[in-house]
Structure 1
Amino acid sequence: MIDLLPHLVNGLTLGLLFALIALGFMLILGLMEQINLAHGSLFALGAYFAFAIATPRLPLPPDMLKIWAGVPLGWRYTAAILIAPVLVAPFGVVIERLMRRTYGRDPLYGLLLTFGIAMVLEDLIRAVWGTRDYVLPVPRDISGGFLFLDLIWSRYRFWAAAFAIAAIAIVWLVVERTRFGAMVKAGAHDSEIVQALGIDLKKLRTGVFVFGTMLAALAGVILAPIWGIRPHMGVDAVVPAFLVIVLGGVGSFWGAVIAGLLVGMVVGLSGAYASEWSLLSMYLLLILVVTFRARGLFGKKSVLEA
């Protein structure tokens, strides 16, 4: 049991991080019923902006850059968490503006458009930062490891899991306990009624995209020290995010969270016995679930099925 414990903890931690990645995807796909394949590229941009802030490699005058470099890493890392999502937010505004022509049409149009945007953003990342891999430094207090039950545990993974839990709780509060969340859900199910009530649907959709974009960027900042930073890291994020949403059920908040935990546990436990099956296992889980329940664990009928 002690030998299995690290894999259980790793799976639980990975599941929470998968759920964190899927949060922004869930808002746009689940509540607005729009497919945003650029989610992974926004995730990657968050990681790169965080790296530029924490390293630091900001486009500042030499004197200011020298002063910022002298700031303790803990403050620079905190600034990266807070500022990187804000810097990525305008990209979400642009994407939403481009996607307006696809509203009310076949979802394939939005899928192809965001796929093209994802390719453009990935090439933009290569043009600005190059093709080499980077590592986001983290403060000493949450780096390294500690000894427990004669095993060495990663401090950062536990901190990342706790952060994911806090982020999930905040998103739930926003979606389920605020006027903004109520408007978003209403707009997804009956946009004509929302407009009749005097709510600007265009601004509402832009707000959802910005919120989802910032969540993607935030996930990129938190996952960067674990996955590393590279131009194609967006693909590594969008695939499990989409899988988690489909597995949990389109439009279900807790479905996405539970599906993320299931995927993390399956990947973690399969890695304990057959590491070559660890990534394949999540696809096998998806096939198993959708074979018996096509809409996922908690999914309801969506316009995507029309």
Structure 2
Amino acid sequence: MDFVANLLPHLLNGLSLGLLFALIALGFMLIVGVMEVINLAHGSLFALGAYVAFTMMGWSPFAGLPLGVRYALVLALAPVAVGLFGMLLELCMRRTYGKDPLYGLLLTFGAALVIEEMIRVTWGSQEKTLLVPESISGAVLLGDLIYAKYRFFACAAAMALIVMLWLLIEKTKYGAIIKAGAHDGEMVRALGYDLAKLRTGVFALGTALAAIAGIVMAPIWGIRPHVGVDAVVPAFLIIVLGGVGSFWGAVVAGLMVGLVVGLTGAYASEWSLLSMYILFILVVTFRARGLFGKKSALDN
């Protein structure tokens, strides 16, 4: 019984981490699916979201507002600001479309380095802390167990955003266009839709998701220039682990990675990061296309 009681807080930590990993991966997957570009700047945009939120929390127009209202405004506005920045980055990427994918890969890698250095020049290299409202900070006592309130908030926020993204993709006209663009961009253009605008919108949405994940993760991981590396590597693994192009595959894989990292971090901290690579190797060894990946014509 004591073992179960000790295990529950670590399961909650792993669950919140997994949901946030899934959110980062879904933004990454949207860009890969529609634009066929592996956005290596995704992690840097994750970090940029946290820094923009940190700056907005101290803005003079928000100075007289209660902390809870300020946090809600920042949570809504900071991803929009990063999404607009993402649109500018997508404009730079347009010259790489239709060419060797290596060009897009190198451009986003260069963009990641530029964004990280821009963060250092603007905010410095010292770790920052994002203030959160008292209502979601501190601890809550459930029976004999103490839980961090913020972990519950992180879980709820990630689940709400994942459901909203699913509704957008599956239940709206724009979502149908996104899915069509992921399968055949030329057909989307032939049907009269502006493929350039679609790519810009998807890139903005993907970067906004990275930014909001960075904001929610900020009180857990802290805010530092290279924090994006901690986000983009799991995101890439999760997409492959869940099956490229599978929405719920990314969610399930995110939960698996979060739980494995959370539990090994609690009982064998030196294995914490290594555990997700071991999980990845085990899964792709027996199922190369990932958990929910569709069968290829090349498979026997």
TM-score (norm 1): 0.92
Q: Secondary structure at the match of 2:128?
A: coil
1:135-146 aligned at under 5 Å gives the runs: 135-146=129-140
Q: Secondary structure at the match of 1:85?
A: helix
Distance in 2 separating the partners of 1:12 and 1:226: 13
CA contact (8 A) 1:44 1:231 kept: yes
Matched, 1:37 2:40: yes
Q: Secondary structure at the match of 2:140?
A: strand
**Cα shift at 1:301:** 7.0
Partner of 2:146: 152
- Equivalent position to 1:78, from 59, 72, 78: 72
CA contact (8 A) 1:30 1:252 kept: no
1:31-110 aligned at under 5 Å gives the runs: 31-54=34-57, 56=58, 58=59, 65=60, 68-110=62-104
Q: Secondary structure at the match of 1:41?
A: helix
Matched, 1:199 2:182: no
CA contact (8 A) 1:13 1:264 kept: yes
- Equivalent position to 1:119, from 110, 113, 138: 113
**Cα shift at 1:184:** 1.2
Distance in 1 separating the partners of 2:228 and 2:264: 24
**Cα shift at 1:149:** 2.9
Q: Which amino acid aligns with 2:33?
A: G
Matched, 1:243 2:206: no
Matched, 1:12 2:6: no
State the Cα deviation string for residues 99-124 of structure 1 (Å, max 9, x = none): 22222333322211101000000011
CA contact (8 A) 1:31 1:251 kept: no
CA contact (8 A) 1:295 1:301 kept: yes
State the Cα deviation string for residues 191-216 of structure 1 (Å, max 9, x = none): 22111111110011111001111111
Partner of 2:162: 168
Q: Secondary structure at the match of 1:137?
A: coil
Partner of 1:133: 127
Partner of 1:279: 273
Partner of 1:61: none
Partner of 1:62: none
- Equivalent position to 1:23, from 26, 40, 52: 26
The farther-off stretch of 186-195 and 201-210 is: 186-195
Distance in 2 separating the partners of 1:244 and 1:268: 15
Q: Figure out how many residues of one structure are paired with residues of the other and give that number.
A: 293
Runs of 4+, deviation exceeding 3 Å = none
1:168-187 aligned at under 5 Å gives the runs: 168-187=162-181
Q: Secondary structure at the match of 1:147?
A: strand
Gaps of 5+ in 2: none
CA contact (8 A) 2:12 2:151 kept: no
Gaps of 5+ in 1: 59-64
Q: Which amino acid aligns with 1:202?
A: A
The structure-2 alpha-carbon separation of the partners of 1:290 and 1:108, relative to structure 1 and needing over 3 Å to count, comes to farther
Distance in 1 separating the partners of 2:216 and 2:267: 28
**Cα shift at 1:135:** 0.4
Partner of 2:256: 262
The structure-2 alpha-carbon separation of the partners of 1:288 and 1:106, relative to structure 1 and needing over 3 Å to count, comes to farther
Identical amino acids, percent of aligned pairs: 69
The farther-off stretch of 95-104 and 251-260 is: 95-104
Q: CA RMSD in A?
A: 1.4
Q: Secondary structure at the match of 1:278?
A: helix
**Cα shift at 1:269:** 2.0
**Cα shift at 1:290:** 1.2
